[in-house]
Structure 1
Amino acid sequence: MSLPITGDGRFWALAFLGLGFPACLALAWIGLPGESPSTSALAVGGRLAGIAAFLGLGLAALALATRGRAALFALLCFPASLAAASGPDGPVLALAALAAALLSPRPMTGRHGSARRAGAALAIALVVLARPACAPLVGMLLVPFPPPGRRVRAWRERLPLAALALLPALLPAFLPALLPAASPGLPPPGAAGGGLVSLPVPLPGFLTGVWAAALLVPPVALRRGPLPPRAERLWLSGCALLGLWLAVLPQALAPAGGLGGMQARDLLPLAPMLILAFARGRIGTAAALRWPALLPVLAAALDAVVLPMIALRA
């Protein structure tokens, strides 16, 4: 079974907008009853702004990606991602996905390649500014690795961009006065869920099973097209592991110890590195979209129906 729409970013972008928007609103609505009357208007405005930024950046990522669109769609429509969408973590995740999408072409040469790399550097710099532990995302700017004859010129162009993208990670140490204090009255959405779930309500069992299939089946069933070189896969996987270590270390060294404060949204911005590392290239120019790639769409469609029903009951 196949559909003649592969390579068309409009399909994935429209599916993301049509299915992700109601689910984001439902999860944001579920999180509102705990707000006090004095902060409810501010909470509604902040959540709507977060959702708008998340959806806009996600649409751009799906439209601009040339590899791994189904995986990026699954990442952005994952329930923990939708729960984070109405808070500051949503735009951070969408910016990381946008950076991976901008760096997905192989090869990436010419004027458009330079523009894509500069846009990815800006997106990563914003992510690092919000979350210094995501600094290993800078490793995406160094792929695809250049051929031997062009390495000197390539590193001369890429290393300054990587340094500029990494610079915001140093701001908390040198310019603490420029960083505004967090508002104690507006907890991030999903905080009530605790642990690694990051959801204000538990998902129904059948929806959890559908998402498990949507995340596990496509990588096994969709094995057409070449993988990136092994060196790039190892490099990006190592950067993801470094980011995981940087995210876990503060939790482990906290006075209470353990990882009780760690949530899924803390780790999701690292996932685009793995998508970029293992997304396969297309064969030819008109390859067809096979049914396993539609499993995340099915799971997102169920989210769009089930989550609003839960919100109405809540």
Structure 2
Amino acid sequence: MPHDRIEGLTVFVRVVETGSFSNAARLLNITPSAISRSIARLEKRLSTRLFQRSTRSIDLTHAGEAYFERISPVLREIEAADAEIGCIRTMRGRVRLSLPCEIAPPLLDRITTAFVPLFPQLQLEVSINDRHGHGDHNVDLAIRAGPVESAGLHEHDLGQMTPIMVAAPAYLDRMGRPATPDDLQAHDHLSHGGCDLPQAIDLADGSRLQLPRAGFSAHDWGTLLIAARNGLGIARMMHWAIRDDLGAGRLVQLLPDVRMRSLPLRAYHAHGRSVPQRIGVLLNFIEEQVRESEMARHDRRSG
């Protein structure tokens, strides 16, 4: 709705509430002639008279009464929303946030570019780790993927994260591109955890696909991503963590029809249902980012 139209509605409602053009003018800190012009423009736009004017008073017409009954609640909602946004902009306090290693980089990119500027008075303390359990009690908000021991913490479902198989174009030029799941047996694989650990892919249909032991392993996802970019083998990573690499062609998705089992992504906090507003706004922002990421993944699969 154009700004001048909202101003016209505000003038109309204030005239009705105060009972005169002059009272509304004093309340809005403008001249009575400005009030009169605003009402005239509104009546012209609506093609009807809203007031019956006399030398001593103004009264609403039937059309004016009906219009006021519809417009007054709407204007109150707009004013309440404006006031709420003003309170949010000046929100103060500290939020201690813990993020899992794999999705921390893309999520922090959005937090620092889109969230922090909206809430300049908030202090944000971020830790990045995959440790679950008692450490999550020492932060205000912990984001975790997969099953978590959450005794004493309130869970908030954010959505599902689905891993995909990827490799660098240089690796595929050297080793060829797998066309079927059986072809994976002849490829080099990267693992998160250890080279001696058995490698397997849990599929969405409940089955498990066994893989050769990894030739390269890392205990953090950043190192694994570097290895994948540099052509050391096939990696299994969350789409959100590598969407920029996929878009830039640094990594290529393999076997897109082989759907791996999704992992639940949840937020944990100790505030029950009474979440402080400073934490709630960040939680809502993160949930929106997860939803947009999953939508982008589905768009890529269907494209």
Higher helix share: 1
How would you bin the TM-score normalised by the shorter chain? under 0.3
Q: Which has a greater percent of strand?
A: 2
Larger Rg belongs to: 2
TM-score, structure 2 normalization: 0.21
TM-score by length of 1: 0.21
